[in-house]
Amino acid sequence: MRITTWNVNSVKQRLGHLLAFLKEASPDVVCLQELKCVDEAFPRTEIEEAGYVVATHGQKAFNGVALLTRQPLPLRDVRRGLPGDPEDGQARYIEAVIPTATATLRVASIYLPNGNPIGTPKYDYKLAFLRRLLLHARALREKEEVLVLAGDYNVIPEPIDVANPEAWTGDALFLPESRAAFRMLLNEGFTDALRACDERPGLYTFWDYQAGAWSRNLGIRIDHLLLSPQALDRLVSASVQKHLRGLDKPSDHVPVTVELDLG
């Protein structure tokens, strides 16, 4: 089973790229972030005609996450919103159960806050969201399911994950507090799928639109799939679909895909 995460940076603007990717790669599950549209404006018809079941948690102009499953895989027990703060109105989390022949697969699509500028409520919100995610991830891990927490984490875990570490030292994505919060998820028993398969430097998932970042390969790795121990036992491969960044009018992120052996 192939599970992909992708921050599409406006699903309506990247719909052609998304449909082409679904046809080309045929992922079984797709976790989308930064939809930038309400649920009613999501291009559900086009994606369903491409052979996918859809669940969304949208927000006008900002944020927004979705889960897609290749038919006939169902989406059950859909949860919209991360527990822990009933006042949080930002659409950044969606989770569902996908029954398979051999295991219960639970997948979440996550769009963590950017957090910039530091020293403002935006960074406080980022750290609070990470604390809530840790508590929820801990509760989910105790279910001992095949669990994948996928998305744009807006965290650069290590210096190896950035082309120019010095340029990011004062950024919320690379601050020690952000990286420590990400490590706490790993310490809970989750595994960074891509790093479990490939320890090479130069594996990036985001290139800014500015300053020739793409042409100069000044990338960062902020899109991650974290696996529970039960998912790690079934891990076959993980890869970055870097070529999509070279398309006309692309997202600044590219898909990351893991393959799990679920029989």
Q: In the annotation, is 136 catalytic? A: no
* Mean pLDDT calculated for residue range 257-261: 98
Report residue 263's pLDDT band, with 50, 70 and 90 as the boundaries: confident
Q: Give the CATH number for residue 226.
A: 3.60.10.10
pLDDT tens string 70-123: 999 999 999 999 999 999 999 999 999 999 988 899 999 999 999 999 999 999
Would you say 224 is a known binding-site residue? no
pTM score of the predicted model: 0.98
Q: Catalytic one among 93, 111, 153, 204?
A: 111
Q: In the annotation, is 52 catalytic? A: no
Q: Which among 175, 253, 179 has a CA at the least distance from the CA of 213? A: 253
Report residue 2's pLDDT band, with 50, 70 and 90 as the boundaries: very high
- Residue range of the domain that includes 59: 2-260
Would you say 144 is a known binding-site residue? no
Q: 């046809």: which residue's tokens? A: 23
* Gap between the Cα atoms of 222 and 190, Å rounded: 16
Q: How many structural domains comprise the chain?
A: 1
24 has pLDDT over 90: yes
Would you say 9 is a known binding-site residue? no
- Identify the pLDDT of residue 175: 98
* Gap between the Cα atoms of 86 and 213, Å rounded: 38
Would you say 34 is a known binding-site residue? yes
pLDDT tens string 27-64: 999 999 999 999 999 999 999 999 999 999 999 999 99
Would you say 124 is a known binding-site residue? no
Q: Catalytic one among 17, 136, 152, 224?
A: 152
Q: In the annotation, is 223 catalytic? A: no
DSSP calls for 60-128: SSS--EEEEEETT---EEEEES-TT-TT-----EEEEEEE-SS-EEEEEEEE----PSTTSHHHHHHHH
* Gap between the Cα atoms of 92 and 110, Å rounded: 6
- Identify the pLDDT of residue 102: 86
